[in-house]
Amino acid sequence: MISKIERAIEYIARLEAGEKVSVRKLAQELGVSEGTAYKSIKQAETQGLVYTKPKVGTVRITLKSSAADVDSTLAEAARSVGAVCMCGADKAAEIELPYILVADGNEMQLRDNVRRAGGDVLCIVGDRPAFQRLAVELGCHILLTDGSLLDEELLRQAESEGICVFVSEQDSSTLLGMLNHRINTEMKGRDMSLVRDWMQLPRYLYHDDMVTEWYRLYSDLYYRSSGCAVVDERLRICGTVEAMAAMNAAPALRLSEIMDPPQEGSYVGEDMGMEELAEMLVKSSRHFVSVNSADGMSGFIGMSDVIRYFLYNRTYRLFDSGDGNKLELSSDESDGERRMYTLQLKDMEQGPNRSGYINSLYSAAAWHAYSLLGNPVELDSANVNSLESLTRDGEYLISSNLLRRSDSDVLLEVELFNDHASYAKASLRYHVVK
């Protein structure tokens, strides 16, 4: 007898190329649970039947246009995202896809990132003339977003210097997501997955600074547990000032008088992976950490940067305890109002792990609220109902649906379920941390 998943995959295979496929629609059309619909779509993706596009959703594709087709040159990659070549077409057809940078920081950061790349660079940049000029000055190939254009003089300069320039109507997040999805096996150097690719420029606190400097540079980043690195004259990290210590100290005190020795977990290296960083921040409840290099403190990075990375890469791990328990973002609705997560649970035979799976509801909802509001959030109120006792190991699903939102808070309805039962439902309200 054909299984529900096999029947769903057959249904997907009969769809026209370009037709959108969603968990909710598939479940309604076939009369199956959302858990079965989700698993069917994921299996169809592994078979090359569907492809998930940023801000569009999951669509039916032909095998010819599937992710299995790898674009190996800059010209092929540009065509794959619908970009038009303004100059350098012949050269773009000959060079392999270079390292990709998004110009969304400041000029110093772009210069530093190009230097670190150490080779050809494709710079994704919008309607920011200063960044466009700098990209040409640095010899970067350019992918302009949102239909932006170079002025004629700058375009002539780019052409004379052998720089390839492309224009796309898409935004930078969509372009980078599409490129990463289609050509990740051909990416040279880093694949935008390391701390150095997303960190912000450092806000230095010197050991002989006054506490007032902490207020000037770091008070806006204060959330529950925020340790700020203190550096010496050579930018070497020599201590850590915890937020509570700074808040309780006299403004005229020097930081050397209240700092602790450098604490493990308050700074990371540039080569740490972003998913590892996300897991560390979630487990430690820190909002940000400093970034250290062989030359001293080189930046800082926090949850807002992690969210940027996750949005660019479309999927991310919320936590992985290392013992088989894991919460992972599995699918987004294109409008962002609904999110689906998978929850892996292990060692449940010991008895109901109620606190574990209820906390997973909070985690999934918090990250959804964070993405909707664009800022760190705190839980205002919660109404949780445990419907069925959860005692078995395995994979479960969590859905998070937006009920109401304003500029500063959201109300979400969250449910934990699988094909057999609904185990918990909750209404959770989150507000932006001021």
Per-residue pLDDT, 314: 41
H or E element at residue 276 = helix 274-284
Q: State the residue for tokens 């930081």.
A: 255
Can you name the residues that pair with 57 across neighbouring β-strands?
53
Q: Are 74 and 161 in contact (CB under 8 A)?
A: no
Per-residue pLDDT, 310: 60
Q: Whole-prediction pTM value?
A: 0.38
Per-residue pLDDT, 75: 85
Angstrom distances, CA of residue 104 to CA of 40, 332, 349, 379: 37, 24, 48, 30
Q: Are 44 and 9 in contact (CB under 8 A)?
A: yes
| Best CA proximity match to 99, nearest among 207, 179, 173 | 179
Angstrom distances, CA of residue 255 to CA of 217, 230, 231, 244, 295: 13, 8, 10, 13, 22
User: Distance (Å, rounded) from C-alpha 45 to C-alpha 179?
Assistant: 17
CB burial of residue 294 (10 Å; 0-12, 13-18, 19+): exposed
Q: What structural domains does the chain harbor?
A: 4-65 (1.10.10.10), 74-191 (3.40.1390.20), 198-308 (3.10.580.10), 314-432 (3.10.129.10)
User: Which of helix, strand or coil describes residue 6?
Assistant: helix
**The pair of three-digit structure tokens given for residue 315, joined into one six-digit string:** 């999927």
User: Which of helix, strand or coil describes residue 121?
Assistant: strand
Q: Where are the alpha helices (DSSP H) in 47-169?
A: 74-80, 89-92, 107-117, 129-137, 152-160
Q: Are 427 and 403 in contact (CB under 8 A)?
A: yes
Q: Digits of tens for pLDDT over the chain (434 positions)?
A: 567 887 888 888 888 777 888 888 888 889 888 778 877 887 777 666 776 654 456 777 654 333 333 346 888 888 777 788 889 888 888 888 777 888 866 777 788 778 766 678 899 998 889 899 999 999 999 999 888 888 889 999 999 999 999 998 777 766 766 675 444 444 333 456 788 877 776 667 888 889 888 887 777 665 444 678 888 877 788 888 888 888 889 988 998 999 988 877 778 888 888 878 877 776 666 767 888 887 778 777 876 677 666 655 543 345 555 556 777 777 655 467 888 888 887 765 554 444 456 667 777 888 888 888 877 777 777 676 766 766 678 888 899 999 999 888 899 999 988 888 888 888 888 888 65
Strand-strand pairing, 121-125 and 99-102: parallel
